[in-house]
Chains A and B, each alone.
Chain A
Amino acid sequence: MFDLLNIAIDSAINSGARYSDARILVSKSRSIAAKNGEVENFNESEKIGLGIRALVGSSWGFYSTYNLSKESLISSGKKAFEIAKASAAVSGKETPFADVPVVKDEYTTPHEENPFKVSSTEQIDLLVNSTEQMKKFGSSRSSGRLDFWDTEKWFCSSQGHEIFQNIIESGGGISSLSVGDGETQIRSYPQSFGEYRTGGWEVVKSFEFENQTQRLAEESQRLLVAPQCPEGTMDLILEGSQLALQIHESVGHAIELDRILGWEAAYAGTSHLELDKLNKHKYGSELMNIVADATLPGALATFKYDDEGTPAQRVDIVKEGIWTGVLSGRDSAAIAGVKPGGMVRADGFARLPMVRMTNVGLLPGESSLEEIIESTDNGIYMETNRSWSIDDLRLNFQFGCEVGWVVKNGKIIDMVKNPTYTGITPEFWGNMDMLANEDEWVFWGTPNCGKGQPSQIGHTGHPASPARFKNTRIGVRG
């Protein structure tokens, strides 16, 4: 494969590109969905192709194809150059490009059982049985899904990189939906849209769906008759998976250097962060320590090299509440004057690599969830995301959760439905005053992060444990 890649890269360089790199991917996926004890969807797919990019002046040119013949590879390199060159009609300053070590290496995700070697019957049975059980326990619509990805990726650059990686990802989830009079309520496990990690079939087995089916079915029904979440300003306690999404939306996207530099302005937006405030801006309370760590074993965004050949690394993003780092690639880092962070990845061979969150997580604190609840006089404990919305500066957000629990004088006293909360990013994080410890720290994964044009779906990780936020506006309704 490296020989094929170098044919395309040589063609781009010989055409006039000042830098070129290329990837060949063999991407396999298996997805299974079940509803009410029956399989609703079972599909396996496989794609093989090349994506090559060439840097000319201020623009990247990118071309992708399924055709790996020699003629096509030569033509692909030439096209990548010509596409970039056409950008000269509306050009800017020449894009700088930071150096990284040139390596020849290979890496495979540590895993026990490759999910594609496990019988699909076993995987189907798990979902069929789980959804059947929830239906028996009274769920109006029980559903479940599993997804597995096996991606073999060969990367070469005109600087001499030769890297092979085999990334294996697995995950899924189950949920119970109850339909009442003009409303629906849902409970999901391990989190809404499922939980995903790098690893094999063992990831899914560790979820033990069978131990959760009764609880999910009962809670979704109980929510139909539960009171509405109260409105007001009070303490908010977030369960780990909801906090993971809070990190994703209000920290992860805001620290993407391509957004800060305006490259995503037309669609995803920019950021409330400005580079001259790096190492000065107060992002949150002193309990807030965020790192972007692509080396965490088993987390969803763990790899050895990104799609520019930069080694995976751990970067401090927020230290004791102060903003200290960004998510960067070789071009954006060179512009901003920071070290390339190894955070550039593409959604398959047919997409241009772009800045992507790695495992952007909140380091654990010293409390436990039990202690947080015991020390809360008046608040709501919210679990499992149901909706999320945030502005294009990543400042003003509103989240809805599947279930809320009223906390009074240190005890959970009632279940409430339709819990929502809203806030402004630095104020909200500034109000974090308790954080659960390592025992409750989970490597939550988000498999559906949309960004870029053409649209790309990214897999990101967000380690988090439960936390408390004082004085939060809760219970916003239409």
Chain B
Amino acid sequence: MNTWSELLEDLQKHIPSSVECEIKMMHSKSALTRFANSHIHQNVDEESADIFLTIHKDGKTISRSKNITAIKNSKDFVKEALDSLEKSPKDTTWAGLTGKTESYEGFQKKRESSPEERANLVRDFVDEGKEMNAAGYCSTYLNNFFIWNSNGLNSSDTSSSAFIDGIFRTNTSAGSSHRGAVNINNLDASETGKEAAKLAVDSQNPVDIDPGKYEVILGHEAVSTILVFLSVYGFNAKSKIDGMSPILLNQNQFDEKINLFDTPEDEESIGFKIDASGAKKYNLEIIKNGVPNTYFHTRRTSKELNMENTHHEFFGVDDYFGGIGTNLSLNKGNASEKDMISSVKKGIYINEFWYCRVLDPITQVVTGLNRNGSFLIENGKITKPIGRLRFTQSFITSLSQGNVISVGDTSRYADSEFGEGMLKVPKLHLKEFNFTGGVSG
């Protein structure tokens, strides 16, 4: 990309040879077509180009970021950083720059989607429930990442993704569904709409049930939320350093049916093939047969814990947030939804969790609610839709040994509390989940 090579050449002229330096550029085009009350009401399109500069010298580090327009001239941008560097305190956890041999060339010219393409997918979704009230969005992203450092690393990559997500509402119910893919042409908005519409129709006139411990079948979005919490708060090596991680490596912490992988190398995986340090990412076993194998590391956490770097540095200014897995895939099992339901004597089906928050990081006790499709299961059959329940449950315990009855036989990208495109998951059938409140509080 011309802008990057010109900018880099210009900045490099002003970088003293005595410093370690890293320069990154994230160029993004994103668009989102949003609908509510069954019509498109907001339609947005954005182009951004942000530059990130990190300089390290004499044990001190400085980071600066500006978008291209804010860099009036390269000389001043570098000079401001160097001036601030002198006033900076020591950086005792600096872990160096990524080596030249990690360079990766993945930049590709890709086509942007048009607002008409997104509108057509929205129409396909809305048409599946014309008698109901539809809301949601269709979004597309095209990101180009470039990174150079004074070790000689020169990496680039391109990532595209597209999502359709929506709900249908009746006077007494709602149903939701979601799909994600690398390319907008691979989204089936009609299928997504059908799924959401069926949940909304089936969950009309819900009844309230008493809180308590129930066997549960969790839909894709609910499973995704559990795993994203474990990824961000548990497997993040920064949490381990801060004494906040509940994850115990090499111990039988989870049910043996739980097999979680990070799969950045897969063609269908959404996101970059390199991390924010410019190093190539590799497929990785995170949980194998219930046993956690690794944390998500950055350069700094890897150095501090003296563990191998897994290249999960987060995109942004630096690795302050620690490592986060963004290509997670929970292995499918062999249970169909029908199999799962037929084996439940009394339990609950939950499509999606909402507003989950950690009460205690070490036990990962989380509180949240259900929404957009919840049902009571009695004697192997869904018998009635149910209303709102509040759960207060350890997400670690929910996947612990003996608590996972079966794993679903279909997997797809699912939305989560921390965003989309990070997790591909099947449904899960769990022995026990703790609901602590209903509509009465």
List residues of chain B with CB within 8 A of the CB of A63: 44-46
Please, how many angstroms separate the alpha-carbon atoms of A59 and B32 in the complex? 13
Q: Are A68 and B69 in contact (CB under 8 A)?
A: yes
Residues of chain A in range 132-149 having any CB-CB distance to chain B below 8 Å: 140-141
B126 (CB) vs chain A CBs: closest residue:
A90
A420/B359 contact (C-beta < 8 A), A43-B64, A59-B42, A92-B38 known: yes
The winner among A42, A388, A395 for most chain B CB atoms within 10 A is A42
Residues of chain B in range 342-377 having any CB-CB distance to chain A below 8 Å: 354-363, 365-369, 371
Q: State which of B46, B91, B123 has its C-beta within 8 Å of the C-beta of A89.
A: B123
List residues of chain B with CB within 8 A of the CB of A396: 369, 388, 390, 437, 439, 441
Q: Are B43 and A59 in contact (CB under 8 A)?
A: yes
Q: Which of A213-221, A261-269, A318-326, A438-446 contacts B (4 or more CB under 8 A)?
A: A261-269
List residues of chain B with CB within 8 A of the CB of A477: 365, 392, 436
Q: Are B115 and A83 in contact (CB under 8 A)?
A: yes
Q: Are A66 and B244 in contact (CB under 8 A)?
A: no
Please, how many angstroms separate the alpha-carbon atoms of A166 and B70 in the complex? 17
Q: Are A89 and B116 in contact (CB under 8 A)?
A: yes
Q: Is B49 an interface residue (CB 8 A)?
A: yes
Please, how many angstroms separate the alpha-carbon atoms of A65 and B49 in the complex? 9
Q: State which of B32, B49, B359, B434 has its C-beta within 8 Å of the C-beta of A66.
A: B49
Residues of chain A in range 380-429 having any CB-CB distance to chain B below 8 Å: 386-392, 395-396, 398, 400, 418, 420, 422-424, 427
Q: Which of A117-125, A236-244, A297-305 contacts B (4 or more CB under 8 A)?
A: A117-125
Q: State which of A62, A90, A390, A453 has its C-beta within 8 Å of the C-beta of B119.
A: A90
Please, how many angstroms separate the alpha-carbon atoms of A71 and B37 in the complex? 36
Q: Are B92 and A38 in contact (CB under 8 A)?
A: yes
A478 (CB) vs chain B CBs: closest residue:
B392
> What is the 8 Å Cβ interface bit string for chain B, positions 166-204, against chain A (1 contact, 0 not)?
110100001010000000000000000000000000000
Q: Are A392 and B355 in contact (CB under 8 A)?
A: yes
Q: Are B135 and A454 in contact (CB under 8 A)?
A: no
Q: Is B137 an interface residue (CB 8 A)?
A: yes
Residues of chain B in range 137-171 having any CB-CB distance to chain A below 8 Å: 137, 139, 165-167, 169
Q: State which of A60, A90, A119, A422 has its C-beta within 8 Å of the C-beta of B441.
A: A422
List residues of chain B with CB within 8 A of the CB of A264: 36
B432 to chain A, nearest CB (A): 12
> What is the 8 Å Cβ interface bit string for chain A, positions 60-78, against chain B (1 contact, 0 not)?
1111111110000000000
Q: Is A276 an interface residue (CB 8 A)?
A: no
> What is the 8 Å Cβ interface bit string for chain A, positions 189-206, against chain B (1 contact, 0 not)?
000000000000000000
A86/B114 contact (C-beta < 8 A), A42-B63, A47-B67, A454-B44 known: yes
Q: Is B243 an interface residue (CB 8 A)?
A: yes
A179/B119 contact (C-beta < 8 A), A42-B62, A58-B40, A60-B43 known: no
- Interface size for A (C-beta < 8 A) is 82
Please, how many angstroms separate the alpha-carbon atoms of A141 and B363 in the complex? 18
Q: Are B89 and A124 in contact (CB under 8 A)?
A: yes
Q: Are A478 and B359 in contact (CB under 8 A)?
A: yes
List residues of chain B with CB within 8 A of the CB of A473: 437, 441
List residues of chain B with CB within 8 A of the CB of A388: 357
Please, how many angstroms separate the alpha-carbon atoms of A395 and B137 in the complex? 25
A310 to chain B, nearest CB (A): 19
B210 to chain A, nearest CB (A): 15
A45 (CB) vs chain B CBs: closest residue:
B65
Please, how many angstroms separate the alpha-carbon atoms of A82 and B441 in the complex? 47
Q: State which of A84, A183, A263 has its C-beta within 8 Å of the C-beta of B360.
A: A183
Q: State which of A38, A424, A453 has its C-beta within 8 Å of the C-beta of B34.
A: A453
List residues of chain B with CB within 8 A of the CB of A120: 84, 87
List residues of chain A with CB within 8 A of the CB of B356: 389
List residues of chain B with CB within 8 A of the CB of A168: none
Q: Are A478 and B32 in contact (CB under 8 A)?
A: no
Q: Is A48 an interface residue (CB 8 A)?
A: yes
Q: State which of A352, A423, A453 has its C-beta within 8 Å of the C-beta of B137.
A: A453
Please, how many angstroms separate the alpha-carbon atoms of A58 and B37 in the complex? 11
Q: Is B336 an interface residue (CB 8 A)?
A: no
> What is the 8 Å Cβ interface bit string for chain B, positions 366-405, against chain A (1 contact, 0 not)?
1111010000000000000000101111100000000000
List residues of chain B with CB within 8 A of the CB of A88: 119
Residues of chain A in range 23-63 having any CB-CB distance to chain B below 8 Å: 26, 33, 38-49, 58-63
Please, how many angstroms separate the alpha-carbon atoms of A398 and B165 in the complex? 27
Q: Are A182 and B363 in contact (CB under 8 A)?
A: yes
Q: State which of A62, A91, A389, A400 has its C-beta within 8 Å of the C-beta of B39.
A: A91
A270 (CB) vs chain B CBs: closest residue:
B169
Residues of chain A in range 154-186 having any CB-CB distance to chain B below 8 Å: 177, 179, 182-184
Q: Are B45 and A62 in contact (CB under 8 A)?
A: yes
Residues of chain B in range 197-224 having any CB-CB distance to chain A below 8 Å: none
Q: Is B66 an interface residue (CB 8 A)?
A: yes
Q: Are A389 and B62 in contact (CB under 8 A)?
A: no
Q: State which of A39, A79, A350, A391 has its C-beta within 8 Å of the C-beta of B355.
A: A391
> What is the 8 Å Cβ interface bit string for chain B, positions 52-90, against chain A (1 contact, 0 not)?
000000000011111111100000000000001001111
Q: Are B44 and A478 in contact (CB under 8 A)?
A: no
A66 to chain B, nearest CB (A): 4
Residues of chain B in range 17-32 having any CB-CB distance to chain A below 8 Å: 30-32
A1 to chain B, nearest CB (A): 12
A391/B388 contact (C-beta < 8 A), A43-B317, A265-B135, A422-B437 known: yes
Q: Is A128 an interface residue (CB 8 A)?
A: yes
Please, how many angstroms separate the alpha-carbon atoms of A266 and B136 in the complex? 5
Please, how many angstroms separate the alpha-carbon atoms of A422 and B369 in the complex? 13
B142 to chain A, nearest CB (A): 14
Q: State which of B174, B176, B243 has its C-beta within 8 Å of the C-beta of A184.
A: B243
Q: Is A378 an interface residue (CB 8 A)?
A: no
Q: Are A67 and B69 in contact (CB under 8 A)?
A: yes
What would 6 A/B residue contacts be, using CB atoms closer than 8 Å?
A: A86-B115, A87-B43, A183-B360, A391-B369, A454-B30, A476-B436
The 4 closest A-B pairs by CB, nearest first: A92-B39, A86-B115, A87-B40, A478-B392
Given contacts A266-B176, A478-B367, 5 further A-B contacts (CB under 8 A): A83-B45, A86-B116, A269-B354, A391-B371, A454-B30
